[in-house]
Amino acid sequence: MTNRYNIPPESAHSVLAELKHEFLTTGESLALTEELTDILERVQARDFMQRNTLPNFRMQQVMSAVEVTDTQCPELHRIFQNALKNLEDLFGPELPPHVRKTTLWRKLDANANATSLAFQGADPVIIITDSLLRLVSDASGKYIVPELTAVLMHELGHVVYADCECLFCMKIYTTLLRDGTIGGELCALTQAQAANKLFTGLEFTADRVMFKTSEWPSILNVFAKLAGGYGGETIDGELFFKQLEKLDPNAEAVITTGIMMANPHQPILERLKELKNFRENHTLGNT
Ligand SMILES: [Zn+2]
C-alpha cells in the first residue's frame, strides 16, 4: 500500500517476523535497530527521538536517583565494577566502548526493578531500585554478591545491545503504524505480537549474558525472589524451579496469548525454561 511517506508496511515488520524467538544475536539486534531508525528517519521522527525523547527520559530517571560512586555506596560501586569486569572478560575486544562508561544509580521505589538506558550521544546508565537491592541482600542487609551480580549482568546485557534505543524505536514505530502515518494495514494485534516478540528476544539475550557470567543456583534464587519476594526467610531457588517444572508445559500458549506491551519482562517460567534449554544445549562461550 502507499502512504504519505511511501514506506511499505512490510519493511520493519518483515525483520520482526523473522526474528528468532529463541535468540537475538548482536548482529540481528543492531540490524533491527538500524531498520527501525531508518524508517523513523524517513518520517523525521528519528532526530526528535534522539534529541528529545531519549535524553529527556534519561534525565527523568536520574534526576530522582543517587549515583553510586567509590565514595557514595562504595560497596555497591565495587560490586558493579566487578560486574563490568565480568563483561569485559566475556566479550573481550568485542565489547562496545560505550559500555565501559556505564554508571549505576539507585532509586527509592516500591517495585523491585532495574532499568538500563543506553543510546547514542549519552553515557549509559543503569537504575536499580532499593526494593530490588533488598531482594538480593540477606536478613542483616548485607548484599548477597552472586545474586546482586546476576541482576547487574542482566542489565549490562541490555546496555551491550543498546536495547533501550531499540525499544523506543519500536514504540514510536508502532505508534506511527497505529495512527496510519506508515503502513496502516497492520492490525493492532499483529503490532502487539511483533512488539512482544522483540521484547522477548531482548530479555532472553540479556538473560544469557547473565547466565554466562553468573552462578546457576544464584540465578534461580534471584528468580525465586522476583516471584515470591523476600522477607529474610530462606528462599530456595532449586525448589522454586522444581515447582515451575510441574506446571503445564503448554503454559507458553497462555503466556503468548496475552498482549504484554505494558510489561517488557517475560513471565519467570518462560525465562527459566529458555535458560534451562540453553544450559542443556550449549557450553559456556558457545552460542
Ligand atoms: Zn531486562
CB-CB neighbours of 250 under 10 Å:
8
- 137: phi then psi, degrees, rounded to nearest 5: -120, 155
Mean pLDDT of 245-264: 53
| C-alpha to C-alpha distance for 103 and 67, rounded to whole angstroms | 7
Grid cell in block for residue 149:
551480580
State in Å: Cα 198 to ligand 1 middle.
12
State in Å: Cα 155 to ligand 1 middle.
6
pLDDT value at residue 265: 60
State in Å: Cα 20 to ligand 1 middle.
18
State in Å: Cα 264 to ligand 1 middle.
7
| C-alpha to C-alpha distance for 177 and 180, rounded to whole angstroms | 5
In the DSSP assignment, the letter for residue 50 is I
> What percentage of the chain reaches a pLDDT higher than 70?
66
State in Å: Cα 275 to ligand 1 middle.
14
Q: Looking at this protein, which amino acid is placed at residue 137?
A: S
> Residues with Cβ within 5 Å of ion ligand 1?
206
Give me the sign of the Cα torsion angle 168, 103, 84, 228: negative
**How far, in whole angstroms, is CA 124 from its chain's centroid?**
14
Mean pLDDT of 262-279: 73
State in Å: Cα 88 to ligand 1 middle.
20
Indicate the pairing of strand 66-67 with strand 122-129. unpaired
pLDDT value at residue 1: 36
State in Å: Cα 92 to ligand 1 middle.
22
State pTM to two decimals: 0.79
State in Å: Cα 94 to ligand 1 middle.
21
- Return the closest-CA partner of residue 84 out of 155, 29, 137: 155
> What percentage of the chain reaches a pLDDT higher than 90?
34
Mean pLDDT of 36-56: 71
For the ranges 5-9, 70-74, 185-189, the lowest mean pLDDT is seen at 5-9
State in Å: Cα 2 to ligand 1 middle.
36
pLDDT value at residue 78: 98
pLDDT value at residue 18: 41
CA distance from start to end of the chain: 39
For the ranges 64-68, 155-159, 200-204, the lowest mean pLDDT is seen at 200-204
188-213 and 26-42 helices, crossing angle to 10° = 140
173 or 257: whose pLDDT is higher? 173
pLDDT value at residue 95: 86
pLDDT tens profile 48-63: 777 788 888 899 999 9
Q: Looking at this protein, which amino acid is placed at residue 15?
A: V
| pLDDT greater than 90 at residue 283 | no
- Return the closest-CA partner of residue 65 out of 120, 119, 133, 143: 133
Helical segments of the chain, H only: 10-18, 26-42, 46-48, 54-62, 74-91, 130-135, 145-160, 163-178, 188-213, 216-228, 237-245, 251-257, 268-281
**How far, in whole angstroms, is CA 171 from its chain's centroid?**
15
pLDDT tens profile 64-119: 999 999 999 999 999 999 999 999 999 888 888 889 999 999 999 999 999 999 87
pLDDT value at residue 21: 33
